[in-house]
Amino acid sequence: MEQLTVEKWGVFELALPGKTDGNPFTDYTIRGRFEGRHEDVMVTGFYDGDGIWRIRFMPSFTGEYRYTVFGSFSERETSGSFHVREASEDNRGPVRVAAKYHFAYADGTPFYPLGTTCYVWTQQPDGRITETLRSLKEARFNKIRFCVLPKHYDYNLGEPRTYPFEGVPMDSSVLTKENFRDYAEHIDEGNRFDFSRPNPEHFRHLEKCILALQEAGVEADLIVMHPYDRWGFSRMSREADDLYWRYVIARFSAFRNVWWSLANEYDILKAKTEEDWEHYAGLLLQEDPYGRLRSIHNCFSFYDHTRPWITHCSIQRQELYRGAELTHEWREQFGKPVVLDEIAYEGDIQHGWGNITGEEMVRRFWEGAVRGGYPGHGETFLNREEILWWSHGGKLRGESWKRVGFLLDILREVPGHGLKYLPAEWDSVCGIPEDETAAQETGYRLYYYSFMRPSFRVFRFDGDTLYRAEVIDTWNMTVSDAGTHRGQFRVDLPARPYIAVRITKA
């Protein structure tokens, strides 16, 4: 018999027949133990419908593994072995926090998250899903935030492709743009969902999308809960919530590109308390054996990001104007990586968070990045079909997405691993390498002038070291050589906004 094999950081999966009488989602258990030379991991499986039980495991080392699967789902244990080979070239493992304020893949390759938000792209028709994946690749986004549950909000009033639980939704035929907010307040009146029976079809489709992202090299930042709901999913009981969380963790945690976002705008999800969020975090710590990245996103009030279960800050700006400009302060306050998951959206809708220009979006990208954080993109352009990227995906219509890859290339060229803010001048933003040795050896400095437009700048360094200056046009995506210099020297600039100057030892 040919031995089963899987690559390191891949997924080893078993599909086993088991009991189906009663309610398989609540009446039975399935657990597995996976033992290799360097790890011994317990994982929980799940019922996938049609009499099939599944259990998944992500091995972190090469070599031989043994497994034993047991539980009340079956009258007998199942055991066996498999071989873990080296990871393929495009498999660098899961992303983790590195150098305190930054990220890296498990193989040590630095990861610079420059992502986008696309809440319910997985709930769209197949053609639009394909178009979304194509757009992500063209824009070079490497992370995407999206919901596990359907969403009810402006420009997203239709029924979802699938529902996460078995049952029937309330009649939405009378729903209009004018009454949808009132409609959402009566979610208990017409919905007939059984929160004790997850719908495997919904979750299978999500898995397909997660794996498509993995193949494209994109991290899947899963929003597990949110307040924009007319079906009752945001107001389930603690018992139903626990079943939902455990099911989601069991199904998705083995995929190496999964991140956990406990909530989008947790503070306006009024049915949940801080004690609830701490409870869900405890479930993640208990049930996710891989320690995937964990965050919680705000609307108005920040969660306490110093909580030990939070791996990084997922930030939505709290002020109308300032956001990315506070990145370095949030780093100091929370002592963790800062991911600016919402700094407003390029677009033209009525909401103040969804109508900034492409130039302003790119300016915020650079402000956040030079200050040592990782900015996120969003786009909300009105169109006849009311297909907005922020919710539905599809085709990108703006200008800022075209400039994400350029910033990503600049960040990858930073010596060491990532930038941190240096208060070098009062009228510019300056970033230097986080790694002090790299900063000293290379003399790297990245000055950003934002919406200001100097025609020249004078720099002062020691008279013995030769420095190279480069002018970066962040909007036109060009890098121009400005010569080599010692001591005090002048660099001429094009007197237009969104210019940066990079200086390194020659």
Amino acid at 263: A
- Residue 169: its pLDDT value, please? 87
Q: For the structural domain made of 4-85, what CATH number should be given? A: 2.60.40.10
183-192, 222-231, 296-305, 434-443: range with lowest mean pLDDT = 183-192
Compute the distance between CA of residue 97 and CA of residue 106 in angstroms, rounded to an integer.
10
Compute the distance between CA of residue 209 and CA of residue 220 in angstroms, rounded to an integer.
9
**What percentage of the chain reaches a pLDDT higher than 90?**
93
Please give the distance of CA 244 from its chain centroid, rounded to a whole number. 20
- Mean pLDDT, the chain, rounded, equals 95
Q: For the structural domain made of 419-505, what CATH number should be given? A: 2.60.40.3950
Nearest-5° Cα angle at 416, 412 to 419: 70
Residue with tokens 């079943």: 243
Compute the distance between CA of residue 36 and CA of residue 60 in angstroms, rounded to an integer.
9
* Distance between first and last Cα of the chain: 61
Please compute, for residue 452, the number of CA atoms within 13 A of its CA located in the half-sphere on the CB side: 14
DSSP string, 264-294: SSGGG-TT--HHHHHHHHHHHHHH-TT---E
Query: Please, which pLDDT band fits residue 188 given cuts at 50, 70 and 90?
Result: low
For residues 362 and 408, the answer to whether their CB atoms sit within 8 Å is no
Query: Please, which pLDDT band fits residue 148 given cuts at 50, 70 and 90?
Result: very high
**Domain locations along the chain:** 4-85, 95-412, 419-505
Q: Per the confidence metrics, is the pTM higher than 0.75?
A: yes
> How many Å is the Cα radius of gyration of the chain?
24
Q: What would the two tokens of residue 425 be?
A: 């001048």
| Domain covering 95-412, topology | TIM Barrel (3.20.20)
Residue 482 backbone zone (phi > 0: left; psi -120 to 50: alpha; other: beta): alpha
**How many other C-beta atoms are found inside a 10 Å radius of the C-beta of residue 182?**
8
4-85 matches 419-505 in fold: yes
**221-267 confidence digits (pLDDT tens):** 999 999 999 999 999 999 999 999 999 999 999 999 999 999 999 99
Residue with tokens 């011994």: 40
Bridge pairing between strands 488-492 and 456-460: antiparallel
Amino acid at 434: E
